[in-house]
Structure formats: C-alpha cells, structure tokens
Amino acid sequence: MKTSMKILGALVLLPTLLFTPLATAVTAMVGGTVVNVDGGAALDDAVILIDGERITAMGSRADVSIPADAQLIDVSGKWLIPGLMNMHVHPGLILPGKMANELANETDPALALRMAAAARGMLTAGVTTIRIPGDDRHADLALDRSIRKGESDGPRIFSAGESLIITGGHGSKPGVVYADGPDELVKAARQQISLGASWVKILISGGIATDGGDIAEALMTPEEINAVVDAAHRYGAKVAAHSGSSIATTVAVDAGVDSIEHGYTLDKKVLQKMKRAGTWLVPTIVVSQPATAPFFERIGSPQWYLDRRDSVGKQHWEALRTAVDVGVNIALGTDQLPQEPNDGTTATVREAEYYVEAGMTPLQALRSATVQTAKMLGAEDSIGSLEVGKYADIVAVGADPSADISALRSISFVMKGGKVYRDDEDLAN
Ligand SMILES: [Zn+2]
C-alpha cells in the first residue's frame, strides 16, 4: 500500500520534477543511542533530525520535536556512530600476482568502472569518507567529482591524484625516469594539485609491494621532501609520506609532512618526535598481520611478496604498539579496500580491532576512524562526529563500540549525507 502510494505520488509529481528539485521531508531517526566519540555520556533514546544532507537537530526525545511529516527511521536498540573513515585506500590498486596478470591491459574506462564499483562497496561497509594516497591515471579525481555531483555512489573522497615517484624508488618501474630533484618534484606536486588533489603523496622509503628500495632506507633527499611540503602547503594541500623508515621519517617530520603512511619499522625515538610535532600515523597494520594472509592467497600473491610481508609484520606490530604507547596521533587506514573481507569482518573493522590489541581503548580506536581522522583531513567542521550542522553520515551497530570495538562487526545500517545506502532490517521503510 505504502509503495503504491509512493509510485502514484511520483507519477503525479513527474512533470514538475524535471524542473524543480523534489522537496524532501525531514528525516527523523528515533530511539537509538548516540555514541559520544568525544568520550562523554551516550545519548539514549535520541532523535536526530536530518534535512537534506545535514543534521539539523539532535537530542533526547523529550527535547526534540519531530515534524508531523517527517520520514521516521526507528533505530531502537541500535547504537549510532559517525560514518567510518578510512585514510589509506587505493580503489584502483593492482597487487602483484594473479591480479596484475588479469589487469595488465586494463583500459582507462575499465579502471574507472572498477573504481566506481569499489566505491559503492565502501558505503555498505560503513565507510563514508576515504583518503586516496595516490592512485592511477586520475580516475580517483574523476570519481570524486562524479560522487560529489551525485552521479555515482561512494564515500567522500580526499585524494592525492598520482603519487610522486622518484626514479628507482618505491612504485617505480625498472628503467623508467620519474620526477627527481626539488624542482621536478615541485612541478609534479603542483600538477596533481591543479588537477584537484587535496593531498600530495610522496614515497620516501621502500615498501612491501615493489622491490624498489629497502623498506628501511631513506630514498628521497631532505631537499626533495622539503620542496614538496613547501609547495603543497602553499596551495593548502597536505602531504602524506609513504615511509617504513625511521631515518626517512625523521626528515619528513622536520619538513612538516602531515602524515606518515605504514611506518613499518619506526623506532621509539622517531615516534616521540612525531608525537611532539603532531604528525599523523596511518598504520595500515592489517596488511602485514596474520589475519590478512588468506587475502594474499586469494589474489595469488607471489612467494617473494609473501616473504617480504612476513619479514616486516613483527616490526610493524612493534612500531604500532610503541606509537600507541607514546600517544602518536593515529588515523585509521588499511591499504586494502575498506570492505575487503578479513577474518569474518571487513579490513576496516579488523584494522580497528588490531589498534585495541595494540593498546588503544575501544573509544580511542573508534576515534581513530572518526573524529581524529576528520582532524587530520582538516574537515572536523563537517564530518567525524554526530552534531548539528555536520553531514548526516550515520552508521548503526548492534552494540556499543566504545565499550567493545568488535561491535563494529554488526553494522546493519549506513547513511551518507542523509541518504540510506544499507538497511539490512528495513528500518527506513
Ligand atoms: Zn598505499
């Protein structure tokens, strides 16, 4: 009955719809418990009013009056948290092995479509904001624009465009010449920014996925790093540095790099330096830990890659434990698709669980995927917590994740910007 009324209504409205935007009623989410990611008391039996993309009122049922024509979503028994944020995602990433063979000749349109499909899946995993620290052929920037226009479904995207690779460095192909020296790197950074990148990604040490340079080596010179950071900051862009190395990270922190990615072998001294400088660490711990082994088997990773991953796993874990102990700013990132199946949940949730195993409280881990992350992006005015004026990026779970982070395994409802993308229990109908 309700559905047929809706269809009838839509038919009557159709001619005017072409010329005027549909006047949507306010949505009222009622009965849930809103988790306070700032650590205060949770808000029980809450009412959240959503008009368009944003939260317009929030409080207890006694304090917020629900408009008569509001569309009700009954979330009684659910815990509500801000949309999760994953700060290290490459939607177009191709890993060595079977995947690389299958996608060796992927065309630009095929890449864009593969990335768009990945972006849709992120929403269903409860991830409403991602940062892309480098991807291929600027399909990431096209995807960002398409999502902003409402043509494609996907998370909010903060992207670095193409990573700045140095000749012979991580991510390079043998014999190919890339940007080298401060001048060329400045030009490359400005090129990404001119195309719409809000971050610049530099690769200052070796990595797991290519054999360009040892993980612990500092490949990019201090002059090169300084030049990129100066250029990016002048345009209001931030800089993310792929670094496994303490030496390279020391230089990066001095240069004012905003975030260190992975940090595979960081020692206590450099982590304390990061803490003092307020530099962010995006651990991507899930990639080097045992829970992710089945993933690498599934994608047919070659033995050299598996060996390299194993060798770095223990050091990476120690670096994370020390970072948590020292109190470094940590923003959650996975270096896998946020929705990638992992240990019975997703890579994003498993990453957060690892943070708790490494010493964080559940609330700290939740903050690393919400309000802290928003701060790293400089977007805390619009995302990262559930407050009036912010985007209605809302996830419902079956228990309190600030008491037990594994409650994130029970995501059943996902809203981004007031629009519902996942609703397992039909709460919005
Ligand atoms: Zn990465």
Domain boundaries, the chain: 2-83+385-423, 84-377
- How far apart, in whole angstroms, are the C-alpha atoms of residue 393 and residue 383? 8
Global model pTM greater than 0.75: yes
384-411 mean pLDDT: 98
Strands 413-416 and 419-423: antiparallel
> Ligand 1 centroid vs 66 CA: distance in angstroms?
45
Specify whether the backbone of 384 is left (phi greater than 0), alpha (psi in -120 to 50) or beta.
Answer: left
- How far apart, in whole angstroms, are the C-alpha atoms of residue 374 and residue 393? 12
Whose tokens are 């975030």? That residue is 259
pLDDT the model gives residue 387: 98
C-alpha 328: how far from chain center = 18
Whose tokens are 């790197």? That residue is 185
C-alpha 173: how far from chain center = 27
What is the C-alpha end-to-end distance of the chain, expressed in Å?
A: 12
> Ligand 1 centroid vs 54 CA: distance in angstroms?
31
> Ligand 1 centroid vs 275 CA: distance in angstroms?
22
Q: What percent of the chain has pLDDT over 90?
A: 82
Q: Which amino acid is present at 138?
A: H
Residues with CB in 5 Å of ion ligand 1: 335
Q: Which CATH superfamily is domain 84-377 in?
A: Metal-dependent hydrolases (3.20.20.140)
- How far apart, in whole angstroms, are the C-alpha atoms of residue 386 and residue 47? 12
pLDDT the model gives residue 24: 65
392-409 mean pLDDT: 98
- How far apart, in whole angstroms, are the C-alpha atoms of residue 28 and residue 35? 17
pLDDT the model gives residue 18: 45
Strands 199-203 and 259-262: unpaired
> Ligand 1 centroid vs 90 CA: distance in angstroms?
6
* Each residue's pLDDT tens digit, 133-185: 999 999 999 999 999 999 999 999 999 999 999 998 888 889 999 999 999 99
Q: Evaluate if residue 16 carries a pLDDT over 60.
A: no
> Ligand 1 centroid vs 62 CA: distance in angstroms?
47
Is-contact 69 24, C-beta < 8 A?
no
Q: How many helices (H) and strands (E) does the chain have?
A: 13, 18
* Each residue's pLDDT tens digit, 195-204: 999 999 999 9
pLDDT the model gives residue 112: 97
* Each residue's pLDDT tens digit, 317-332: 999 999 999 999 999 9
Please tell me which residue, 67 or 308, carries the higher pLDDT value. 67
Q: Evaluate if residue 291 carries a pLDDT over 70.
A: yes
pLDDT the model gives residue 417: 98
Q: What percent of the chain has pLDDT over 70?
A: 92
- Third-level CATH fold of 2-83+385-423: Urease, subunit C; domain 1 (2.30.40)
> Ligand 1 centroid vs 133 CA: distance in angstroms?
6
> Ligand 1 centroid vs 177 CA: distance in angstroms?
21
Q: Evaluate if residue 211 carries a pLDDT over 80.
A: no
Q: Evaluate if residue 377 carries a pLDDT over 70.
A: yes
- How far apart, in whole angstroms, are the C-alpha atoms of residue 262 and residue 245? 10
Under DSSP, the state recorded for 198 is S
> Ligand 1 centroid vs 240 CA: distance in angstroms?
10
* Each residue's pLDDT tens digit, 214-230: 666 788 999 999 999 99
Task: Give bridge partners of residue 342 from the DSSP assignment.
Answer: 345
> Ligand 1 centroid vs 42 CA: distance in angstroms?
35
22-33 mean pLDDT: 86
Strands 259-262 and 238-243: parallel
Specify whether the backbone of 394 is left (phi greater than 0), alpha (psi in -120 to 50) or beta.
Answer: beta
